[in-house]
Amino acid sequence: MSTIRRFRAMDLLHFNNVNLDRYTETYDSQFYLSYMSNWPDLFTVAESPAQKLMGYSMGKVEGTDELWHGHVTALTVAPECRRLGLARGLMRGLEDASEKIHDCYFVDLFVRPSNTVAIQMYEHLGYILYRRVIDYYQGDGVMPTEYAHDMRKALPRDKHKKSIVPVKHAVNVEDTFF
Amino acid sequence: MEGRQLRPIYDALELPDTKYAEEECEKLLRKHPNHYGAQSIKAFILARSGRPNEALLLGQSVLNTPSAMASAHVQQGLSLAFRALGRPREEIMVYTAALSFSPNDESLHIKVFKTAARNSMFKEQHHAAIQLSKLSKQQKYVWWLVVSLFLQAKHSKDDVAAPVQLKLAERLVEKAVADGQLTSTEELRVYLDVLDIQDKHEQMTEVMADNSQLAAMISNDPDLVTQRINLFIKVGDYDKAIMAATAALESRDNWADYKLYIEAVATLVGQAVDAEAKHSLVAGISSNFEKWAGVRGKARGAKLAQVALATRMHEAGHGDIAGSPEALIWDYLTEFQQKAICYSDIMQFIVARREPSVLEYHQAQLEQRLPAARDSATNSDDAAQAWVNLEKIRYLLQALMGETDPKAWVADIEPLLKFGLGSSQARKKQPSCSDMAFIASQRIIQAAFLAYSAADQREQLHSALFKALCVLESGIQLNDNSFLLKLYAIRVYLYLSCYERAQTIYDTLRIKHVQLDTLGHLIIGHGMALGCFALDMELCYNGVTFYDRFQSKMPRDIEAVYQQGTYSNVQDFLEFQSNIVHSIQRECTHRYALRGEGFEYGNAKETLARWEEADVSSIEHSEQTLSALHDNRDVSVMGLLTPKDMAQWDLELLTQSTPIPGHDFIRAFSLVPQVMHYLVCADIESLQEKLSELTLVVDNSSCRLSRQDVLFVRGIIDVGSLYIQASDPQNEIDGQLSRLLSVIRTNLPSNELDPSLFSLSSDGIRNLSAATELFTYMLALKHALLAQRLPAANAVGLALSQLRKEALKSVNTLRGWVDKNTRALVEEQWLAENDDDIFADAKRFVVGSQKQTTSMVTKACTTSWLRSVKNLLSQWEKCSS
């Protein structure tokens, strides 16, 4: 249980209990602001009854024709707020918006292969490993350089599930641009 | 022709090669002195090269030449120059002047609008929006006008104009609705804001009614659903609020809706005339909560809402009408204690009622459950987490009951340490074990501050904190992802004057971008206080870069909001911009950066040039500018187990090695560079003025500066006074000079006595650092006296030369002592057999089970001290007088 609401710029001043987690990247402020400007309905935060941020999901829509899709840019939950189904709730919200507001064919996301807990959750939510992306994550002294798992879930608009036919070979980062 | 002439300059700017661009400008201006395009671009180049005064002068001279403004090159160059200078009014004047040549140029009006919008110039924004909506039929300009009117009215002090502006905005929206031009929830939010600010809540309910034209938009937007419930409460229609909340909670589990539901019912209960009506209302809401508590995924929210309802009823004087809050708290705990969030959820309700009888009830409940929870903790993750939550409640209850006996805080610490750091679960990185290690460390720290709060007991305090540090580090070694352990480890290392290790741990937290504003205070500035100013400078520059980039980029984000039509962001973005641009941490970071530059060694010419060229006007502060600053520093991240209003149990506060810099720091360290600037420029009158201001700051009884900062600032006051004294050959300076030298000497390590571990870990390095910094400034004084051929120069030079020799000797001795003795001393004194028995269990554990980590912490401390002393020695070696 939490208050689910749109993410606000002022939340950037209070999201440290979420973002100090090692798997959570902190981006330039302008990155978050551009998501708020462009896709406000895909940037959602969960706030606890004690008014602490519990987690957030940040997404966008991109691509053309049958590649028109929702993309999960970030999904993160504060360590003490895990095992509550919060990530699933946030993902469901983002999928709903991708389907009902933006009429997308599928939703995709990237995840570190070492983040096995997250991968299990995505699989449970119906995501499949679509392809692997070579050295998508660059090491920064704390986290290592890693491939990314590009995972996808088809939405009802993709009737023939064409978007989730896996690519067998690993691809380069530039092959993932839409 | 003009474009062709300016091409080489543009090309150089694109490279970017500012120097070459300036040369090209000069070349063109030599041939054509009245080339306004070149002058405009030159103004921009000057603004970007840190020469604001020249840029402004040149820019204004072009702006005062109306005929020049017809050129697109002039418009572009000049607007960029004024933007870089942070002069939006002048930037708008450029566009306005250009509009006199082409009044219907839409792009120019857009520029005026955006410049005004990103600088919160609502009146100008409003006027530009009017022009745009007159020029073009595009609907977005109507919304720009509505938003501008709303903002202008909201921020206006004009009680006559504001209602008129809001009425006009309302009419524009009504027309848009009638024309079918309100098409997004963003526009709907603007509409609601316009009505809300006029207190037209009834009208808002009509707009948001189920059968309204816009109802579908509301149901798809979670925030608007909640706003609608709140609105019914505002208009006093509590029945509708209850209906709307019930409907919302049937389909979702949203805490804000629960709160509003409780509020609506509580108000009706308060208004009800008889007991039956009250009970009926409470029965209705309770039955809903019970129903939802049985729904998968909603149980936590509904159960916590029962606690909130019972607490609210108690607060309103209705007793246990909705059940006993205490009993419901423990029901909640029984059901959800295996969740890590449980403590955070329930803490506010325990804290809400602090009567002794209530606390005793909680204590009894806890005592019943704690032993079993402890015994079964190894059975599963859930059982372990349940014990952790109960331990957190035990901690909270001790604080709420005002427990001041340090022994009580560490009485049962051993099982916590064993589970948190020595169990098989701990080796598997189970999060509950890190939590337990955290609780254990908090208990040791709390006990340490309770036991040794007196000034003469600080030696024992350090010994106890060292044990807490061993616990924190052991936890970090087991689970590198536990940021809470890291945050406190940073704090305690700094408390013990160990900068290097604190900084290494800080690096692993990967704090960057906006976090530099909210978390930068953890480390920025501490390096300078502990002799590691080069490392600190790097962090300061990261911070300065963040703020500079933010300031240049944020305006574009505000423009983007208008471009994308996501108007609900406007106020939030403006507030965010203001919070960062006027942030206390920003000011502190800049002051530290300047302070670090002052500390850097340079020869006489470089030193004098640095102070002479310093732009001291931009760092002046008044009461008004200080009161406009925002404190964005995030201390909530420290995970306090007690409420913020209990200072004696506030470990965030207690573990601060020096006060977190605030207004006094900003004021003092804005004045220090000004003092040095006027001293080097021989401006005695301004120098005297700044010295008086600095004296006022430091003499203020409530001044919140560290002991060493006070020492340094007083030293700077003496440096300034000495200069004034020396400026008149008739005056004697010996007394003043010897006083200053004595301040430095007193804070150098003694040659005669061996320093103690305590003096090193408390004030030793800090005092030496302040003395070294002061010496650097005295060198600048000497250079200034020499450059101005003042007779006192030689006397000061000789005295400094002698002082340097003494300092080199004593600091070198200290270096050798730290290198040779501190490791053994830590083991002898901080881990001694006959140490205080309060911490005997903790010591036995860290020495016995965590030997390797304890040895690592010992090494980290000694290496950090050695690094600080070596850095300071190197500074004395470089600072040749």
The pLDDT of residue B196 is above 80: yes
Instruction: Give tens-digit pLDDT for A79-132.
Output: 999 989 999 999 999 999 999 889 999 999 999 999 998 999 999 999 999 999
Q: pTM, whole model, 2 decimals?
A: 0.93
Check residues A1 and A38 and name the one with the higher pLDDT. A38
- For an interface test with A, the pick among B487, B513, B522 (most A C-beta atoms closer than 10 Å) comes out as B513
Please give the residue of chain A at the shortest CA–CA distance from B349. Answer: A50
CA B398 to chain centre: 30
Which residues of chain B neighbour A48 with C-beta distances below 8 Å?
Answer: 255, 341, 344-345
Whether chain A has a CB inside 8 Å of the CB on B512: the answer is: yes
Q: For chain A, what is the total number of helices (H) and then of strands (E)?
A: 4, 7
Instruction: Give tens-digit pLDDT for B46-73.
Output: 998 888 889 999 999 999 998 899 999 9
Say if residues B142 and B181 touch (Cβ distance below 8 Å): yes
Whether chain A has a CB inside 8 Å of the CB on B480: the answer is: yes
The pLDDT of residue B727 is above 60: yes
Please give the residue of chain B at the shortest CA–CA distance from A24. Answer: B510
The predicted structure's pLDDT at residue B834: 65
| Closest CA of chain A from B296, distance in Å | 11
**Per-position DSSP letters for B479-496, written without gaps between them:** -TT-HHHHHHHHHHHHHT
pLDDT band at B835 (very low <50, low <70, confident <90, very high): low
Instruction: Walk across the sheet containing A106-111 and list its strands.
Output: A3-6, A43-47, A53-62, A69-77, A106-111, A146-154, A128-137
Q: Are strands A69-77 and A43-47 parallel, antiparallel or unpaired?
A: unpaired
Number of CB atoms found within 10 A of residue B335's CB: 14
Contact A12 B514 (CB under 8 A): yes
The closest CB to that of A40, out of B513, B550, B569, belongs to: B569
Contact B519 A82 (CB under 8 A): no
- Cα separation of A128 and B158, whole Å? 60
Tokens of B877: 């070696």
Say if residues B69 and B94 touch (Cβ distance below 8 Å): yes
The percent of residues in chain B predicted with pLDDT above 70, rounded, is 99
pLDDT band at A177 (very low <50, low <70, confident <90, very high): confident
Say if residues B835 and B494 touch (Cβ distance below 8 Å): no
Residues 122-141, chain A: which have Cβ within 8 Å of B? 140-141
Whether chain A has a CB inside 8 Å of the CB on B561: the answer is: yes
**ipTM for this model:** 0.93
Residues 63-92, chain A: which have Cβ within 8 Å of B? 79-85
- Dihedrals phi, psi of B415, to nearest 5 degrees: -60, -35
The predicted structure's pLDDT at residue B881: 54
- Dihedrals phi, psi of B429, to nearest 5 degrees: 65, 30
The pLDDT of residue B753 is above 70: no
Element (H, E) at B79: helix B72-84
Instruction: Give tens-digit pLDDT for B532-588.
Output: 989 999 999 999 999 999 998 999 999 999 999 999 999 999 999 999 999 999 999
| Closest CA of chain A from B513, distance in Å | 5
Contact A9 B575 (CB under 8 A): yes
**Residue with structure tokens 């149980």?**
B299
Say if residues B863 and B818 touch (Cβ distance below 8 Å): no
The closest CB to that of B301, out of A1, A6, A140, belongs to: A1
- Cα separation of B768 and B755, whole Å? 13
- Cα separation of B105 and B618, whole Å? 36
Contact B569 A20 (CB under 8 A): no
Calculate the average pLDDT of chain A: 93
Contact A100 B304 (CB under 8 A): no
Please give the residue of chain B at the shortest CA–CA distance from A54. Answer: B341
- Judged by DSSP in three states, A40 sits in helix
Closest to B777 measured CA to CA, from B664, B680, B873, B693: B680
Alpha carbons within 13 A on the beta-carbon side of B861: 33
Please give the residue of chain A at the shortest CA–CA distance from B293. Answer: A1
Say if residues B176 and B142 touch (Cβ distance below 8 Å): yes
- Dihedrals phi, psi of B360, to nearest 5 degrees: -65, -40
Number of CB atoms found within 10 A of residue B305's CB: 27
Which residues of chain A neighbour B187 with C-beta distances below 8 Å?
Answer: none
The closest CB to that of B513, out of A26, A52, A83, belongs to: A26
- Cα separation of B494 and B174, whole Å? 60
Which residues of chain B neighbour A5 with C-beta distances below 8 Å?
Answer: 222-223, 226, 256
Closest to B762 measured CA to CA, from B521, B462, B469, B480: B462
End-to-end CA distance of chain A: 36
Which residues of chain A neighbour B300 with C-beta distances below 8 Å?
Answer: 1, 84
The predicted structure's pLDDT at residue A34: 97
Which residues of chain A neighbour B256 with C-beta distances below 8 Å?
Answer: 3, 5
Contact A17 B637 (CB under 8 A): yes
The predicted structure's pLDDT at residue B101: 92
Instruction: Give tens-digit pLDDT for B249-279.
Output: 998 899 999 999 999 999 999 999 999 999 9
Residues 6+ apart with CB under 8 A from B282: B265, B269, B309, B313, B321, B322
Alpha carbon separation from A1 to A4, A47, A90, B304 (Å, rounded): 9, 9, 12, 9
- Cα separation of B546 and B525, whole Å? 17
Please give the residue of chain B at the shortest CA–CA distance from A36. Answer: B569
Calculate the average pLDDT of chain B: 94
Tokens of B443: 């208990």
pLDDT band at B216 (very low <50, low <70, confident <90, very high): confident
Say if residues B465 and B441 touch (Cβ distance below 8 Å): no
What number is the average pLDDT over the span A71-85?
Answer: 93
Say if residues B127 and B111 touch (Cβ distance below 8 Å): no
Integer-rounded Cα radius of gyration of chain A: 16
The closest CB to that of A33, out of B302, B509, B573, belongs to: B573
Residues 282-301, chain B: which have Cβ within 8 Å of A? 297-298, 300-301
Q: Where are the alpha helices (DSSP H) in B565-661?
A: 569-581, 584-599, 604-613, 623-627, 651-654
**Residue with structure tokens 């003496």?**
B718
The pLDDT of residue B399 is above 80: yes
Say if residues B325 and A22 touch (Cβ distance below 8 Å): no
The predicted structure's pLDDT at residue B552: 87
Check residues B601 and B158 and name the one with the higher pLDDT. B158
